[in-house]
Each structure stands twice: as structure tokens, then as C-alpha cells.
């Protein structure tokens, strides 16, 4: 096992300019971002044939977003990497800038790999794109106790950006400038695997790292088989190095109650681990345990990066071939059912979890049961693990694709571009084309904002209608490699769809209305129709809430009046069974 706190490698002693504040302090401290700004070009100068320092964006506070591109293959640009069919690994540190071991571990691992002290030969066979700190402005919100449930470093950054975004909730909506820059970097390099480096929150226990990989439960089935093999190899290697790894995030089912056990999960695509599988690429979430000291967390993260590079050097070509096949399969998903969200089933089995002795006693402060751990007394917890993951929300992909009306295209097209989703502008207006529309029968807007958005939930179903198609609308075909990502963005009931993120909330707001005294007269006129009268009487008899609500009773008639707005609760994205150019006009 590599002992970070005791051994300073020979190359580090010879090239002290490439060491970090963390390494020189034996990982009691971590450096400010100025250190990354100095080390990025210093690495390129020290290894001119193997490293390039690149700026891929600028933060809202004007700081550079930096990445180190490393390879001894001679392919230090994306075009050359693609031409030579080299696997590209994107390793991302500091998306939550208080969880910063990825920065120090990655810089150390990179130097050791370049010096031949770790993963020998791996950089000859792959390209490593390393972002030491993604949330740069958050990193510079530097203070003690930014992470009160974490041991070290002495000072660290904060979880959110200067604009108070949590970047690891932003992959789909891409509101933050940093995320838009990251998606540009992803589009440039198209990494076969992305590793996202974190530290946990949660209970106190002996396990020191969790590693979650997708596709494994979700995504393309053949990629999931490779994901399982990769997970097994990485977990085994960490175990050989003395770690106690877990294949699931150790979040208690009932907060603060160790007896409740744990459940496996599939992250929504707002998270990195949920996003990249929708592109038919691998994502690995690494979560060292926050209650281990910083030196231990850096050591484990460093070991993981080295192990991943070594594994990719061997298996990367097979991953690339499998991803290419998955892209081709994705282009045939039209008309097929797809899982949009996942949950753990009710099936569990007991596991022996390495925890500590604890007591749960009534708290005079909160009035709840409070948990107190005794780290001097290791204890095995026999707890349930719910590790069967099943679809929670599914939808059938459209046979041909989606149609984004012109009124929405100006907002949606830039986001499709960011995600690398192809579309075709409609040049000529077309009248009364057959489409499928989604009319919401229930709309629930969140009471509070989340990540700056008022999220929405809807019930409803797709139905056949005819709609006018204006010039400037967008036809977004399902037959493309990123079909899974497309469906996740545009299916209204997907957990991180644009609708779910409140992109279309104005479509669920009534703008025209009928005064009550007018509605009363309209109702009297309509009740002369026996069919309407019978339907109204039935509704009164079957729905007590309706019967008690004067506004709902009047709305029953207002909806039948010619003044009713047919676009209210109409989701402004349509589905097509045939490509737009082949859909016959009426």
C-alpha cells in the first residue's frame, strides 16, 4: 500500500516545483487556486511532449477553468486522439469544492504517471484530461469549517459556485457558465469515461470509499456488462491496497438511523453519474469517506486514479468499440420502451456493514433521537441492503422524433447544441400536420425553487392531434447516437426533463379568464344540453372536492366555452411517428 504521509517519491524531491501545498504539508492543508494556475503551465513546461495546459472557460468571477491534457502517445489534441482511436479519460475534481482531495490526488497521480512511478506505460495508450477544480469560484470561498462533517484539510472551499449553483445538479439544464464550459470540453474530447471525485456526507463507519459505475444498472445493456466488470476490478484493486470499498453510496435509508440499512440507486441525469450513460459513455463516482483524515482520502483517490488509468490502458480499446456499437443501437430506439427513472425495489438481504458502536438517545436539543458514535469500538452492523434496482418511470420513445415549435426553438436549440443533439430546422410552414401532443391533466409546481428553478410535475398522456407547424420549428430525430439523452430531455415525465426543470411553466399558467358572473350565465346556457347536464351531475356525485369548490364548478363550463385557450396545459413539444418531411398534409 502506498503511504502518502510517510513517503515522498524520488521524482518529487528532484522536481519540487511540481509538488503541491497539500503534499508539502503532508496533506494537512490544500492550496488555493493560484497553485493550479501555476502548476498547469509548469507541468506543460516540465513535460512538453506529454502535457498541455488548456483553458476551457471562465468563471463568473473571471477565473480561468483549467485542464491538463496528458498523454505520451503524441495525441495532445482531440482530433489526433480520435484519429488514433485512443481512449480519453476525463477526471473531474472539485465539482464540490469543499471535497477537494481530487485536486491534490490528481496532481500527484499525474506527476507519478509522467515520471513512470505509477501506471507504467498507461499514458502511451490513452489521453488523460484532468480538471483539478471544476467549481473554481466555490474553491476560493476558502475558510475553515466549510465542511463541518469532514476531517481536513485545514481550510477548503464551498459546495456551491459564486452564483450559488450546485454544479452536480446542472448537467441537464446547464444554467451555470461553468457547466456550459464543461459540456464544451466534453463535446471536444468525447471521453469514453468520466470520473467524478467526491467525499461523502453521512454516518460514521469504517468503510473508506464508495465507487459507483454506470452503465451498470441502467443504460445500454451491453455497456452495462462492461461496467460490471470494471466495477469488480476497481473494487478488488482498492481492497488489495487496504481500502474497505463499497459499490453503493452509503446513505442511510432513514437519516441518522444506522439500523435502517442502505439501498443501491441510479442517479438522475442532473448528476454526472446519471448524465454520461445517456451519451453511451461510462461514469464513475468516487466518494471517499469524509470522516477519514485528508491524507487518507487523498491516498485512496490517488490510488483510484492510477488504477483507472492502468485499467483503461488495457480495456479502453474494447470500451471504445462497445460505445460505438451502443451509439448505433441508440439510433434504433424509436418506438421502444425506455426507463427514465429508477428506484430500489422492496427486496432486500442482510449484509455485514463495518461500522462503529453507537447509541441513539433522546436529544434535549432537537427532541429527536440523536445518534452518537464511538470510533474506539469497531462494530459489524447487520443491516438490510436493497440492491435490486427497477424502473420507476418509463416511456416509449417516439418513432421518428420530436418537434419543437418555433416559439420554443430559440430557447431550446442552444441547449440541444450543448448536449450534441442533432436537429433539423423546418424551412417552410406546414398546416395541420398529424402529431402527438401531451396535454397535462394535473400540474404541480414546486412551492420553493430548487437550483434557481421552480420544478414542475405533470400527469397526462400523449394523444393524436393536428397542429400547424411554423417555419423555424425544429425536427429532432430519434435516430441518432444520443437518443437516450434526447428522450431524457424532452419526455415530459422524465425526472430531469426540461419540463421538470420548469422550462415551460408559462404554458401551465392561464392568461385569459371569465368573470364569475359571466361564467354563471354560460353555465345556465350549457346546462340546457342534456348531455352536459348529465356529465355535470355525475361529476358532482362522484367528486366531493369538486362539489365543494365553486371555482372548479364554474371552470367545468368555462372549459367548454369557445373562449377557452386550447394551448393551456399543452406541452409545447410534439412527437412524430414519421419524419416531418414525410408526414402528409391534410
Mean pLDDT of 427-448: 95
Mean pLDDT of 334-357: 97
Cβ–Cβ under 8 Å, residues 154 and 29: yes
Mean pLDDT of 276-304: 98
Nearest to 187 by CA among 6, 352, 421: 421
Residue 170, C-alpha cell as written in the block: 446542472
Backbone angles phi and psi of 491, in degrees to 5:
-75, 125
What pLDDT, on the 0 to 100 scale, is given for residue 562? 86
What pLDDT, on the 0 to 100 scale, is given for residue 12? 45
Cβ–Cβ under 8 Å, residues 226 and 118: no
Mean pLDDT of 394-402: 98
In this prediction, residue 164 has a pLDDT band, given cuts at 50, 70 and 90, of very high
What pLDDT, on the 0 to 100 scale, is given for residue 13? 44
What pLDDT, on the 0 to 100 scale, is given for residue 346? 96
Mean pLDDT of 170-179: 98
Mean pLDDT of 568-582: 90
Nearest to 354 by CA among 386, 385, 382: 382
Mean pLDDT of 470-495: 98
What pLDDT, on the 0 to 100 scale, is given for residue 368? 92
What pLDDT, on the 0 to 100 scale, is given for residue 372? 95
| Three-state DSSP state, 470 | coil
Identify the weakest region by mean pLDDT among 145-149, 413-417, 452-456: 145-149
> How does DSSP classify residue 569?
T
What pLDDT, on the 0 to 100 scale, is given for residue 249? 94
Q: Does the global pTM surpass 0.85? A: yes
Residue 182, C-alpha cell as written in the block: 464543461
Looking at the chain, the whole-number percentage of residues with pLDDT higher than 70 is 96
In the predicted structure, residue 5 carries a pLDDT above the cut 70: no
Looking at the chain, the whole-number percentage of residues with pLDDT higher than 90 is 92
Nearest to 337 by CA among 276, 398, 390, 421: 398
In the predicted structure, residue 258 carries a pLDDT above the cut 50: yes
Cα separation of 311 and 103, whole Å?
A: 21
> How does DSSP classify residue 143?
B
408 contacts: CB under 8 Å, gap ≥ 6? 504, 572, 573
Q: Is 127 exposed, middle or buried (0-12, 13-18, 19+ CB in 10 A)?
A: buried
Cα separation of 584 and 102, whole Å?
A: 55
Domains and CATH numbers, the chain: 10-330 (3.40.630.10), 353-391 (no CATH), 396-510+567-582 (no CATH), 516-558 (no CATH)
What pLDDT, on the 0 to 100 scale, is given for residue 197? 98
Q: What is the mean pLDDT of the chain?
A: 94
Q: What is the pLDDT of residues 503-551, one digit of tens each?
A: 999 999 988 888 999 999 999 999 999 999 999 999 999 999 999 999 9
Backbone angles phi and psi of 342, in degrees to 5:
-135, 160
Alpha-carbon distances of 198 from 95, 133, 427, 429, 432, rounded to whole Å: 8, 11, 47, 50, 51
Q: Is 23 exposed, middle or buried (0-12, 13-18, 19+ CB in 10 A)?
A: buried
Nearest to 390 by CA among 340, 457, 330: 340
Q: At what angle do helices 33-46 and 101-114 cross, to 10 degrees?
A: 10
Cβ–Cβ under 8 Å, residues 172 and 489: yes
Cβ–Cβ under 8 Å, residues 303 and 209: no
What pLDDT, on the 0 to 100 scale, is given for residue 582? 55
462 contacts: CB under 8 Å, gap ≥ 6? 436, 437, 438, 575
Strands 193-199 and 88-92: parallel
**Residue 424 region by backbone torsions, left for phi larger than 0, else alpha for psi between -120 and 50, else beta:** beta
Cα separation of 174 and 169, whole Å?
A: 9
In the predicted structure, residue 6 carries a pLDDT above the cut 80: no
Cα separation of 301 and 209, whole Å?
A: 9
In this prediction, residue 411 has a pLDDT band, given cuts at 50, 70 and 90, of very high
Is the four-CA dihedral 567, 569, 573, 574 of positive or negative sign?
A: negative
What pLDDT, on the 0 to 100 scale, is given for residue 15? 62
In the predicted structure, residue 460 carries a pLDDT above the cut 70: yes
Amino acid at each position: 500500500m502506498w503511504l502518502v504521509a510517510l513517503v515522498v517519491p524520488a521524482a518529487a524531491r528532484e522536481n519540487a516545483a511540481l509538488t503541491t501545498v497539500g503534499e508539502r504539508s503532508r496533506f494537512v492543508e490544500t492550496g488555493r487556486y493560484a497553485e493550479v494556475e501555476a502548476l498547469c503551465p509548469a507541468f506543460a513546461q516540465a513535460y512538453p511532449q506529454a502535457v498541455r495546459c488548456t483553458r476551457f472557460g471562465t468563471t463568473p468571477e473571471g477565473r480561468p477553468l483549467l485542464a491538463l491534457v496528458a498523454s505520451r502517445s503524441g495525441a495532445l489534441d482531440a482530433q489526433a486522439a480520435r484519429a488514433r482511436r485512443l481512449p480519453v479519460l476525463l477526471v473531474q475534481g472539485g465539482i464540490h469544492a469543499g471535497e477537494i482531495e481530487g485536486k491534490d490526488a490528481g496532481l500527484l497521480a499525474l506527476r507519478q504517471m509522467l515520471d513512470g512511478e505509477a501506471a507504467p506505460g498507461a499514458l502511451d495508450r490513452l489521453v488523460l484530461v484532468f480538471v483539478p477544480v471544476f467549481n473554481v469560484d466555490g474553491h476560493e470561498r476558502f475558510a475553515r469549517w466549510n465542511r463541518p462533517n469532514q476531517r481536513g484539510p485545514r481550510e477548503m472551499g464551498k459546495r456551491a459556485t459564486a452564483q450559488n449553483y450546485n454544479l452536480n445538479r446542472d448537467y441537464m439544464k446547464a444554467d451555470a457558465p461553468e457547466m456550459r464550459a464543461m459540456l464544451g470540453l466534453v463535446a471536444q474530447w468525447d471521453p469514453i469515461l468520466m470520473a467524478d471525485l467526491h467525499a461523502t456526507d453521512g454516518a460514521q463507519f469504517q468503510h473508506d470509499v464508495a465507487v459507483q459505475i454506470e452503465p451498470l444498472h441502467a443504460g445500454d445493456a451491453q455497456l452495462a456488462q462492461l461496467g460490471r466488470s470494471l466495477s469488480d476490478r476497481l473494487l478488488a484493486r482498492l481492497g488489495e491496497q487496504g481500502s474497505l470499498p463499497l459499490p453503493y453510496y452509503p446513505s442511510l435509508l432513514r437519516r441518522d438511523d444506522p439500523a435502517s440499512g442502505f439501498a443501491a440507486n441510479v442517479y438522475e441525469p442532473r448528476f454526472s453519474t446519471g448524465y454520461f450513460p445517456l451519451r453511451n459513455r461510462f461514469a464513475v463516482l468516487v466518494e471517499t469517506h469524509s470522516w477519514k483524515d485528508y491524507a487518507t482520502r487523498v491516498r485512496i483517490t490517488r490510488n483510484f486514479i492510477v488504477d483507472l488509468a492502468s485499467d483503461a490502458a488495457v480495456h479502453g480499446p474494447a470500451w471504445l468499440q462497445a460505445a460505438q456499437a451502443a451509439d448505433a443501437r441508440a439510433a434504433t430506439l424509436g418506438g421502444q420502451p425506455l426507463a427514465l427513472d429508477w428506484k430500489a425495489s422492496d427486496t432486500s438481504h442482510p449484509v455485514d456493514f463495518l461500522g462503529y458502536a453507537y447509541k441513539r438517545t433522546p436529544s434535549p436539543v432537537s427532541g429527536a433521537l440523536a445518534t452518537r458514535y464511538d470510533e474506539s469500538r469497531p462494530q459489524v452492523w447487520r443491516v438490510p441492503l436493497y440492491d435490486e434496482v427497477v424502473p420507476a418511470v418509463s416511456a416509449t420513445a417516439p418513432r421518428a422524433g420530436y418537434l419543437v415549435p418555433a416559439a420554443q426553438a430559440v430557447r431550446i436549440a442552444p441547449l440541444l447544441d450543448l448536449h450534441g443533439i442533432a436537429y433539423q430546422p423546418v424551412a417552410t410552414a406546414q398546416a395541420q400536420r398529424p402529431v402527438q401532443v401531451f396535454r397535462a391533466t394535473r400540474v404541480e409546481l414546486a412551492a420553493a425553487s430548487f437550483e434557481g428553478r421552480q420544478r414542475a410535475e405533470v400527469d397526462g398522456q400523449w394523444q393524436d392531434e393536428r397542429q400547424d407547424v411554423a417555419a423555424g420549428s425544429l425536427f429532432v430525430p430519434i435516430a441518432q447516437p444520443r437518443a437516450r439523452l434526447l428522450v431524457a430531455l424532452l419526455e415530459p415525465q422524465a425526472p430531469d426533463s426540461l419540463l421538470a426543470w420548469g422550462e415551460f411553466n408559462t404554458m401551465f399558467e392561464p392568461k385569459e379568464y371569465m368573470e364569475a358572473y359571466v361564467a354563471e350565465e354560460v353555465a345556465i346556457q350549457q346546462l340546457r344540453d342534456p348531455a352536459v347536464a348529465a356529465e355535470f351531475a355525475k361529476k358532482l356525485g362522484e367528486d366531493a372536492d369538486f362539489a365543494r369548490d365553486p371555482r372548479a364548478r364554474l371552470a367545468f363550463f368555462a372549459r367548454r366555452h369557445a373562449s377557452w385557450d386550447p394551448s393551456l396545459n399543452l406541452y409545447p413539444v410534439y412527437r412524430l411517428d414519421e419524419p416531418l418531411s414525410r408526414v402528409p398534409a391534410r
